[in-house]
Chains A and B, each alone.
Chain A
Amino acid sequence: MSVTAQISTVHGAPPLIYTLTLSTSRIQEVNSPGVTMTLNVSNTVSGSFYGFSWNVTDPSGSIRSFVYYVAANGPFLTLAVVYPRDFSGALVKYNGTYRINIFQTYPNPTALVATGRFYTGLTDSLSYQRTAQVFILAQGYASNENITMRILHAGIPASGFPISQLADGNGVFSYLWPIPVSTPLGDINVSLSGQVTVKKPPDSQIFTILPTSVSISQLVANLTLLQGSRIAAFSFAAVYPDGSQAKTGTTTIRVLEPDGITIHLVSMTYNTTVNAFEGTYRIASSDPSGGWAAIIDANSFDDVYGNVGPSTGVVRGFVVEPAASQNPQTSTVTYLLLMIVVLLAVALTFLVSWVLFFARKKVQRSVLKVDLQSIEREAARVQNRDFFGKVRDQLKQRQQAKPEEGAKDG
């Protein structure tokens, strides 16, 4: 912030030019580091004396002054004064506007040469994204005074407010409020009132709440076989800037077929068991094989409070292999088989529940069983793939080429 003024002081001499610059336009209710007010004066006469009086009027109407006399040693003069440090008895204990008037008191006549203003508030910013932390700071209360803090949106208290907290031994009140993701957007009023101290003007200020962003770093895709159908299961975690996870909202992801054109939409909902958003797509036997992709589009996720993300799209590719040929079976046989599977599953559930219930007080021992034959079968399936054959053949060719190269080198 800067203010300039021009005043002629000596007949025939060029006019003095004044420029006031402030280190900041807004501070919290705290004395240090304060506001540095720098007055630059041009066209001064070397060896001449100049006198200035800084007058600062605080929001309560109280005026504090600082007088500065100095001799110029050239055509420029720079004077820096800090409020409240250099002003006797001054404190930054009211929120509102602090007005600055600078008078040149010498040489005569006294004249107002520069003005300015800065603001004092309770919070460390005037706008915040949800999940950010609001730092509230105020002083001028009695030592260990009980302070009530209110945070209101449209006259309705924010969740958990009002609260009461003691000022410290110096009468300073401070509070850190992490803004919940569901806090209403828009203007919020924060106010403080002491049990003993009555401030005029009272500690009260408005700040703005903005939506926050949600980041999704990765989309996981797993292909599984369920009752003969291939299922593509997708999951992702949505994270707020403070590192906490989003647990509300829904989104729809796009599942793209290998042609890059055909799209399927999959709704993703939060699963509290796995702490992630999940959704599935059943791959029909008629669906094409090849490289598929699942996409979370930019800003397609909304946590129901208006916090959206991710800022850029997230993609996960996955390969769908051709459907294995299945033995034709009549619907009756399939139904019977299904019934048997269901009955077995129910019986197994009872058995497992019974075992778990009676074994609870005993040492629990998990058993990790791996079917080596299944592993060999799956490995054989991989090894039968054309690409594996290519890799193996190329490796063999290289190994054969190496001795020949060695012989040539030798």
Chain B
Amino acid sequence: MDMDLEGPGLHVIFGLDPYELPFTLNDVLVNGAQPERAALRMNDRLHLERGEIYFSPASVKVEDILKSLRSGFELDSFSNAINTLAEKFSLDYLLVDTHPGLEDDTLLAMGVCDNLLVVSRLDQQDMFGTGVLAEVARTLEKPTHLVLNMIPLALNSSEVSKIASKIGANFKIQVLGWLPFSEDIVSSLSKSVFILTNPRHSMTARFNEFARRLESLDEVN
């Protein structure tokens, strides 16, 4: 679910023309459209033979973006939308991708989710934001997990592990792992789903490992 209502971009990775989408998440949250109408089955487009994957896009139209910012959000309507999608499509997981700031839509997503996964770079600005987010999440009693992203290649594994455990201890959150900086991912320019176009890439193996860890979170919860 592309919950970055202020600047949606996930449709780019999935190769969708945003102006051809019949319904978007904005229609669901602002105009009360049925949530399942804003969910696109992606199996054929991604050439997936097993499982099911659906994508709920956000609108790129300026009037929709301003409207959603103006009208605000209701936890109940968003929560109902999430539940409807989960039931309608028998979802195992629903991933809600928000934008990095702590705006109303982010708070809304935090309020609804079972687990909060924060992807952060190892720099002052990101760490500050992560700290604030962890603090806010604690108030909402949401378990927060951190993934350190784009770790400089000069740092070795043990150094990163030490830094990660310190951050986890300071922010009182679980560090799920870390990803090194990858020129290949940057060069892919979000033109496609990286793990599908690069199934044998070392980063793909890491993403798969993260997926397994996320599954284990589900078991813990």
Q: Given the known A-B contacts A239-B189, A243-B187, A315-B65, are A382 and B7 also in contact in the complex, defined by CB atoms under 8 Å? A: no
Residues of B within 8 A of A382 (CB): 102, 107, 132, 136
B→A interface (CB under 8 Å) = 5-7, 9, 12, 17-19, 60-63, 65-66, 68-70, 72-73, 75-76, 102-104, 107-108, 110-111, 122-124, 127-128, 131-132, 135-136, 139-141, 163, 170, 187, 189-191
Query: Which residue on chain A has the smallest CB distance to residue B106?
Result: A382
A317-B65, A369-B124 known; 13 new pairs, CB 8 Å cut-off, are A239-B189, A315-B61, A315-B62, A317-B6, A319-B69, A319-B103, A370-B131, A379-B132, A388-B136, A391-B110, A392-B139, A394-B111, A395-B111
Does more than half of chain A's interface fall in helix, strand or loop, or is it mixed?
mixed
Q: How far is the CB of A138 from chain B (nearest CB, A)?
A: 34
- A368 lies within 8 A of B124 (CB): yes
CA distance A369 to B1 in the complex (A): 34
Residue from the list A258, A379, A395 in contact with B75, Cβ < 8 A: A395
Q: Given the known A-B contacts A368-B163, A372-B170, are A312 and B65 also in contact in the complex, defined by CB atoms under 8 Å? A: no
CA distance A293 to B6 in the complex (A): 8
Does A357 sit within 8 A of B, measured CB to CB?
Answer: no
CA distance A388 to B133 in the complex (A): 12
Pairs A–B under 8 Å by Cβ, sample size 22:
A217-B190, A243-B189, A258-B69, A291-B69, A291-B70, A293-B66, A312-B17, A312-B19, A313-B62, A319-B69, A370-B131, A371-B128, A372-B131, A375-B135, A379-B132, A387-B72, A387-B104, A388-B107, A391-B75, A391-B110, A392-B139, A394-B75
Q: How far is the CB of B182 from chain A (nearest CB, A)?
A: 15
- A370 lies within 8 A of B170 (CB): yes
- A395 lies within 8 A of B140 (CB): yes
- B69 lies within 8 A of A290 (CB): yes
- A378 lies within 8 A of B9 (CB): no
- A315 lies within 8 A of B7 (CB): yes
CA distance A331 to B107 in the complex (A): 40
CA distance A390 to B72 in the complex (A): 12
Q: Given the known A-B contacts A291-B65, A391-B75, A391-B111, are A218 and B135 also in contact in the complex, defined by CB atoms under 8 Å? A: no
What is the 8 Å Cβ interface bit string for chain A, positions 323-361, against chain B (1 contact, 0 not)? 000000000000000000000000000000000000000
Does A318 sit within 8 A of B, measured CB to CB?
Answer: yes
Q: How far is the CB of B184 from chain A (nearest CB, A)?
A: 12
Residues of A within 8 A of B108 (CB): 391
- B66 lies within 8 A of A258 (CB): yes
Does A91 sit within 8 A of B, measured CB to CB?
Answer: no
Instruction: State the 3 A-B residue pairs at the shortest beta-carbon distance, nearest first.
Output: A291-B69, A317-B6, A379-B135
CA distance A369 to B127 in the complex (A): 9
- A391 lies within 8 A of B7 (CB): no
CA distance A287 to B42 in the complex (A): 42
CA distance A260 to B64 in the complex (A): 11
- B70 lies within 8 A of A368 (CB): no
What is the 8 Å Cβ interface bit string for chain A, positions 305-327, against chain B (1 contact, 0 not)? 00000001111111100000000
- B190 lies within 8 A of A291 (CB): no
Q: How many A-B residue pairs have CB under 8 A?
A: 119
Query: Which residue on chain A has the smallest CB distance to residue B152?
Result: A366
Does A179 sit within 8 A of B, measured CB to CB?
Answer: no
Residues of B within 8 A of A72 (CB): none
Task: Give the bracket for the number of chain A residues in contact with chain B.
Answer: 35 or more
- B132 lies within 8 A of A375 (CB): yes
Residues of B within 8 A of A318 (CB): 6-7
Query: Which residue on chain A has the smallest CB distance to residue B13?
Result: A217
Residue from the list B62, B102, B139, B189 in contact with A217, Cβ < 8 A: B189
CA distance A217 to B103 in the complex (A): 22
Q: How far is the CB of B186 from chain A (nearest CB, A)?
A: 10
Residues of B within 8 A of A190 (CB): none
Q: How far is the CB of A33 from chain B (nearest CB, A)?
A: 29
CA distance A313 to B8 in the complex (A): 12
Residues of B within 8 A of A217 (CB): 9, 12, 189-190
- B65 lies within 8 A of A293 (CB): yes
CA distance A295 to B76 in the complex (A): 31
Residues of B within 8 A of A370 (CB): 124, 127-128, 131, 170
Residue of B66, B69, B107, B187 with most chain A CB atoms under a 10 A cut-off: B66
Does A152 sit within 8 A of B, measured CB to CB?
Answer: no
Q: Given the known A-B contacts A243-B189, A382-B132, A392-B139, are A258 and B103 also in contact in the complex, defined by CB atoms under 8 Å? A: no
Residues of B within 8 A of A376 (CB): 135
Q: How far is the CB of A7 from chain B (nearest CB, A)?
A: 52
- B66 lies within 8 A of A379 (CB): no
Residue from the list B5, B72, B132 in contact with A317, Cβ < 8 A: B5
Residue of B7, B76, B108, B191 with most chain A CB atoms under a 10 A cut-off: B7
Residue of B70, B135, B170, B187 with most chain A CB atoms under a 10 A cut-off: B135
Does A147 sit within 8 A of B, measured CB to CB?
Answer: no
- B7 lies within 8 A of A258 (CB): no
- A260 lies within 8 A of B12 (CB): no
What is the 8 Å Cβ interface bit string for chain A, positions 204-245, against chain B (1 contact, 0 not)? 000000000000011111000000000000000001000100
